[in-house]
């Protein structure tokens, strides 16, 4: 039962709410850690993942399971149709509105995810990015005629910083980045600088890391588990929509190539593992460049929970439920 001043209760006069954010590469165990922390704080979770937002993709995007969502409510999961466009800016707006409402009656919330731009948009804000439908149409025509390689090469020239850490094989993301570069005359990455809009909450960001060998093992095991859970059938049900931006992503692209006779099933599974490892490396590159992250080994429960408890102790907020690993 929460005390009147615990982390699960409303703010007292003069207090600022606290958003605890868990970041790190895919398959490192962010969801498990987020649930443990949310249970200790007595709060709910914002999911910051640009793939897990989409409906009908639970296996390939490793959405939190029904059981995990029953343990702690997760928001911004499985709520956008694959045909719809949903940007980091829209996520920042929607998540901000949710936080405004939530913090009226609660001291803390947890945000978790591996989408760096989504995380950055909520914590810091983003500059407004220009849109030019004429340029976009022309780029899509070039994509159709010449393929992704020529556009990727141009993006590497105009914005090597962003090209080096994005999924350069995702056609729609390459087109969007090029559209912004050409419309503005500035690198796409220059729009990722904070707006410096004051936040109404304090932030604590914890980064999860581990040695590359064990992380590769976890990635390979997760892909095998996805295959056993029916990943192939999930991708097959979406194959007719393979041109959509939501499906230009690791775990679906490879199955589509298999269905179209461009690789075997065994090769598709191996490609998913390789591409997921590459994706994890890009995620870590992004997060390591972010400031104010407290890094901890993903398996070191005591350190992770201790960081959160320390922040609560500084505010004289008793935990809703004690962390088992922390005295």
- Least trusted range by pLDDT, from 178-182, 205-209, 299-303: 178-182
What integer pLDDT is reported at residue 171 of this predicted model? 84
The tokens of 101 are what?
A: 């409402």
* 181 & 95 share domain: no
pLDDT of the residue at 326: 73
Residues 142 and 100 both lie in one domain? no
Tell me whether residue 33 is in a domain: yes
Chain-centre distance for alpha carbon 175: 20
Does residue 28 register a pLDDT over 60?
Answer: yes
3-state SS, residue 154: helix
How many angstroms separate the CA atoms of 112 and 135, rounded?
34
The two three-digit tokens of residue 215, written as one number = 């992380």
For residues 148-177, give the mean pLDDT: 87
Share of the chain above pLDDT 70, in %: 97
**Distance between CA atoms of residues 308 and 14, nearest Å:** 20
pLDDT in tens, 287-322: 999 999 999 999 999 999 999 999 999 999 999 999
**Would you say residue 195 has pLDDT above 70?**
no
pLDDT, tens digit (0-9, with 9 covering 90-100), for 238-269: 999 998 889 989 999 999 999 999 999 999 99
Please count the structural domains in the chain: 2
Is residue 205 located within the same domain as residue 299?
yes
Are 167 and 236 part of one and the same domain? no
Q: Of 151, 167, 192, which closes a domain?
A: 192
pTM for the model stands at 0.86
What is the pLDDT averaged over residues 215-220? Answer: 98
Query: Domain check: are 206 and 277 in the same one?
Result: yes
Termini Cα distance of the chain: 19
- Give residue 190's pLDDT: 83
What is the 3-class SS of the chain, one letter each residue? Answer: CCCCCCCCCCCCCCCCCEEEEEECCCCCCHHHHHHHHHHHHCCCEEECCCCCCECCCCCCCCCCCHHHHHHCCEECCCCECCCCCCCHHHHHHHHHHHHHHHCCCCCEEEEEECCHHHHHHHHCCCCCCCCCHHHHHHHHHHHHHHCHHHHHHHHHHHCHHHHCCCCCCCHHHHHHHHHHHHHHCCCHHHHHCCCCCCCCCEEEEEEEECCHHHHHHHHHHHHHHHHHHCHHHHHHHHHHHCCCHHHCCCCCHHHHHHHCCCCCHHHHHHHHHHHHHHHHHHHHHHHHHCCCEEEEECCCHHHHHHHHHHHHHHCCCCCCCCCCCCC
Residue 318 CA from chain centroid, whole number:
29
Q: Which residues of 49-80 are buried (b: 16+ CB within 10 A; e: fewer)?
A: bbbbbbeebbbbbbbbeeebbeebebbbbbeb
Q: Are residues 171 and 243 in the same domain?
A: no
Residues 57 and 108 in one domain: yes
Is residue 1 situated within a structural domain?
no
The three-state secondary structure class of 293 is strand
| Whether residue 188 is found in the same domain as residue 238 | no
In eight-state DSSP terms, residue 191 is: G
- 318, 6 Cβ separation under 8 angstroms: yes
Encode pLDDT of 10-25 as tens digits: 999 889 999 999 999 9
Structure tokens at 315: 């505010």
pLDDT score for 1: 42
User: Taking 90 as the threshold, does the pLDDT of residue 170 lie above it?
Assistant: no
Q: Which of 69-78, 163-172, 228-237, 303-312 has the lowest mean pLDDT?
A: 163-172
CATH of the domain at 81: 3.40.50.300
Within this chain, do residues 117 and 234 fall inside the same structural domain, yes or no? yes
Closest to 63 measured CA to CA, from 38, 33, 31: 31
- Would 199 be classed as within a structural domain? yes
Under the banding of pLDDT at 50, 70 and 90, the label for residue 327 is: low
Q: Identify which of 214, 308, 256 has the alpha carbon closest to the alpha carbon of residue 20.
A: 308
Residues 116-141: b if buried by 16+ CB within 10 A, e if exposed:
bbbbbbbbbbbeebeeeeebbeebee
CATH code (residue 158): 1.10.20.140
Q: Do 271 and 231 fall within a single domain?
A: yes
Q: How confident is the model at residue 172 (pLDDT cuts 50, 70, 90)?
A: confident
- CA dihedral for 45, 36, 121, 178, sign (positive or negative): negative
Residue 156 lies in domain: 133-192
pLDDT at 2: 47
pLDDT band of residue 165 (cuts 50, 70, 90) is: confident
More confident residue, 324 or 65: 65
- Whether 95 has a pLDDT exceeding 60, the answer reads yes
Residue 33 has pLDDT above 50, yes or no: yes
Helices (H) and strands (E) in the chain, counts: 13, 6
pLDDT averaged over the chain?
93
| Residue 184 pLDDT grade (very low, low, confident, very high; cuts 50, 70, 90) | confident
Assess whether 226 and 100 both reside in one domain.
yes
Q: Are residues 97 and 241 in the same domain?
A: yes
């Amino acid at each position: 039962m929460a005390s009147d001043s615990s982390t699960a209760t409303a703010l007292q006069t003069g207090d600022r709410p606290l958003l605890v954010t868990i970041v790190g590469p895919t398959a490192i165990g962010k969801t498990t850690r987020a649930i443990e922390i949310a249970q200790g704080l007595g709060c709910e979770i914002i999911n910051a993942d640009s793939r897990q937002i989409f409906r009908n993709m639970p296996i390939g995007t490793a959405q939190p399971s029904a059981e995990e969502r029953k343990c702690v409510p997760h928001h911004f999961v499985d709520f956008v149709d694959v045909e719809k466009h949903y940007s980091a800016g829209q996520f920042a707006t929607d998540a901000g509105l949710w936080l405004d409402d939530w913090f009226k009656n609660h001291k803390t919330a947890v945000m978790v995810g591996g989408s760096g731009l989504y995380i950055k948009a909520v914590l810091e804000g983003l500059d407004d990015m220009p849109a030019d439908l004429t340029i976009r149409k022309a780029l899509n025509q070039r994509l159709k005629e010449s393929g992704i390689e020529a556009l990727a090469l141009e993006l590497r020239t105009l914005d090597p910083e962003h090209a080096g850490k994005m999924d350069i094989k995702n056609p729609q993301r390459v087109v969007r980045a090029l559209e912004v570069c050409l419309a503005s005359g500035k690198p796409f990455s220059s729009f990722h600088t904070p707006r410096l809009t004051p936040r109404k909450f304090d932030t604590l960001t914890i980064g999860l890391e581990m040695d590359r060998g064990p992380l590769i093992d976890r990635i390979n095991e997760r892909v095998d588990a996805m295959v056993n859970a029916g990943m192939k059938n999930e991708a097959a049900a979406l194959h007719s929509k393979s041109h959509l931006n939501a499906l230009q992503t690791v775990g679906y692209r490879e199955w589509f190539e298999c269905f179209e006779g461009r690789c075997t099933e065994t090769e598709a599974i191996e490609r998913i593992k390789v591409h997921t490892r590459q994706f994890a490396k890009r995620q870590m590159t992004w997060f390591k460049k972010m400031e104010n992250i407290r890094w901890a080994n993903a398996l070191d429960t005591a350190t992770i929970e201790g960081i959160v408890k320390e922040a609560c102790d500084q505010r004289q907020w008793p935990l809703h439920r004690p962390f088992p690993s922390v005295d």
